[in-house]
């Protein structure tokens, strides 16, 4: 059920651009006029090394963004990415190794871990849902319930966890929801209006909450039907009915109160997609720690560390694929 993509292929230019903006903003709000504790407690010539560890099982996502945070504070820091993005990692796994100015490491620490923990938490939760529906036809997808400004990064983390992205925004897919229907005059009327005006060929999905609404969509030619907050028995009946429609039949997506305890039963109704807002809006940050000690150790043989210039996440991923 995993996407099977290399992490570099999952990364997008939009995610990279957002990472740069968000890291700069995060450092600005955290450091402000200066990290006075570090500046007054640590001499400028002190060197140190630090290791970021997984304290609980997790799927790593965001190592390149954490690297960007360290390098945004000090491009001279040496940052090694030790953990792989995508596979499940055990507690105690070393994820990053950083060495260089002790001041720089301490100043960048919280910002780097905030990004790494948030994105890894999303990837980890996504993997749990993906694993829960293995062996069924259902694919796990996200929603637009993302942190404002973080959408490209959070949806990227969903892909790292083996999930699939729903529409990125209002602009790349038509999704007729209950409020559109309530305002504009019924599910069939709204759908016909949208289909007639869709001259650019965007995919069209329509939300229904009852089997009666489902039947109103028969033969209209929508691409996907969203079964919202239906009981399992009703959902299974919707799958059966649509299976009797003539080709091309729309795909079916289930949504509403999806939990790890319930998602398997939903998948076994035969739906094609299960959308889960909790992947991004209710995720628990992955448990990570950074351990720092004075002094430096030699880099591991074949290290991918960068010392002389600030690299973008995409550049890092591109070099790691070679």
Domain-embedded: residue 159 = yes
- Which has more pLDDT, 75 or 311? 75
The pLDDT score that the predictor gives to residue 258 is 95
CB 159 within 8 A of CB 165: yes
Banded model confidence at residue 144, pLDDT cuts 50, 70, 90: very high
Say whether both 54 and 102 belong to one domain: yes
The first and second tokens of residue 238, run together, are 């919707």
Helix (H) or strand (E) holding 97: strand 94-101
- The Cα 175–Cα 185 span in angstroms is 16
In a domain, 22, yes or no: yes
The reply to whether 141 and 120 lie within a common domain is no
What is the pLDDT confidence band of residue 298, given thresholds at 50, 70 and 90? very low
276 shares its domain with 153? yes
Instruction: Output the six-digit token pair for 115.
Output: 């990004």
Q: Quickly tell me which residue has 């790494």 as its tokens.
A: 116
More confident residue, 9 or 75: 75
Whether 249 and 303 share a structural domain: no
Q: What is the CATH number of the domain that holds 265?
A: 3.20.20.70
Based on the domain organization, do 57 and 147 belong to the same domain?
Answer: no
My answer on whether 230 and 270 are in the same domain is yes
Residue 98 has, within 13 A of its CA and on its CB side, a CA count of 34
Q: What is the percent of the chain with per-residue pLDDT over 90, rounded to a whole number? A: 84
Cβ atoms of 23 and 72 within 8 Å: the answer is: yes
Average pLDDT estimate for 165-173: 95
Please report which helix (H) or strand (E) contains residue 317, including its range.
helix 313-321
Q: What share of the chain is helix, strand, coil (3-state, %, to 5)?
A: 40, 15, 40
- Residues 229 and 252 both lie in one domain: yes
Distance CA(226)–CA(206), nearest Å, equals: 6
pLDDT in tens, 103-122: 999 999 999 999 999 999 99
Is the Cβ–Cβ distance between 312 and 16 less than 8 Å? yes
* pLDDT at residue 13, rounded to an integer: 85
> How large is the average pLDDT for residues 76-87?
94
65: tokens are 């963004």
Q: Which residue has tokens 């030619």?
A: 221
In this structure, are strands 78-81 and 204-208 parallel, antiparallel, or unpaired?
unpaired
The model's pLDDT over 56-70, given as tens digits with 9 standing for 90+, comes to 999 999 999 999 999
Q: How far is CA 137 from CA 172, 226, 266, 269, in A?
A: 25, 16, 11, 10
Q: For residue 205, give the 3-state DSSP assignment.
A: strand
Tell me: do 232 and 306 sit in the same domain.
Answer: no
What range defines the domain where residue 308 resides?
7-129+283-321
Give the up-direction half-sphere exposure of residue 245: CA atoms within 13 A in the CB hemisphere.
Answer: 21
If you average pLDDT over every residue of the chain, what do you get? Answer: 90
Are the CB atoms for 116 and 288 separated by under 8 Å? yes
Check whether 312 has a pLDDT greater than 60: no
Which residues contact residue 261 at a Cβ distance below 8 angstroms, ignoring those fewer than 6 apart?
A: none
Specify the CATH number for the domain of residue 35: 3.90.1170.20
In a domain, 1, yes or no: no
Same domain, 103 and 21: yes
pLDDT the model gives residue 295: 75
Domains identified in the chain, total number: 2
Neighbours of 321 (CB within 10 A): 10
- Please report the pLDDT score of residue 297 as a whole number: 52
Catalytic annotation, residues: 110, 145, 177, 207, 228
Q: How much is the pLDDT for 10?
A: 53
pLDDT digits (tens, 9 = 90+) for 219-237: 999 999 999 999 999 999 9
Same domain, 274 and 307: no
Number of DSSP helices (H) and strands (E) in the chain, helices first: 13, 12
């Amino acid at each position: 059920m995993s996407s099977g993509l290399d992490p570099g292929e999952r990364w997008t230019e939009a995610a990279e651009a957002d990472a740069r903006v968000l890291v700069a903003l995060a450092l600005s709000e955290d450091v402000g006029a200066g990290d006075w504790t570090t500046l007054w407690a640590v001499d400028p010539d002190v060197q140190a090394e630090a290791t970021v560890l997984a304290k609980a099982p997790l799927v790593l996502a965001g190592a390149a963004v954490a690297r960007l945070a360290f390098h945004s504070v000090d491009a001279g820091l040496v940052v090694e990415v030790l953990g792989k993005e995508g596979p499940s990692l055990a507690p105690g796994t070393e994820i990053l190794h950083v060495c260089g100015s002790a001041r720089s490491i301490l100043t960048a620490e919280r910002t780097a871990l905030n990004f790494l923990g948030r994105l890894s938490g999303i990837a980890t939760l996504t993997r749990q849902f993906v694993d829960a529906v293995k062996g069924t036809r259902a694919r796990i997808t996200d929603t637009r319930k993302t942190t404002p400004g973080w959408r490209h990064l959070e949806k990227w983390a969903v892909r790292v966890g083996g999930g699939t992205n729903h529409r990125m925004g209002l602009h790349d897919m038509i999704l007729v929801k209950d409020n559109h229907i309530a305002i504009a005059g019924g599910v069939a009327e709204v759908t016909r209006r949208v289909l007639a005006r869709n001259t650019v060929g965007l995919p069209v999905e329509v939300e229904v909450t009852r089997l009666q609404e489902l039947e109103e969509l028969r033969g209209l030619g929508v691409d996907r039907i969203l079964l919202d907050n239906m009981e399992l028995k009703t959902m299974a009946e919707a799958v059966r009915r649509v299976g009797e429609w003539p080709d091309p039949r729309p795909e079916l997506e289930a949504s509403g109160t999806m939990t790890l305890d319930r998602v398997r039963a939903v998948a076994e109704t035969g739906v094609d997609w299960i959308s889960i807002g909790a992947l991004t809006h209710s995720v628990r940050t992955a448990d990570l720690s950074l351990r720092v000690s004075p002094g430096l150790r030699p880099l591991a043989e074949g290290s991918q560390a960068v010392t002389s210039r600030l690299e973008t996440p995409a550049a890092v991923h591109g070099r790691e694929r070679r």
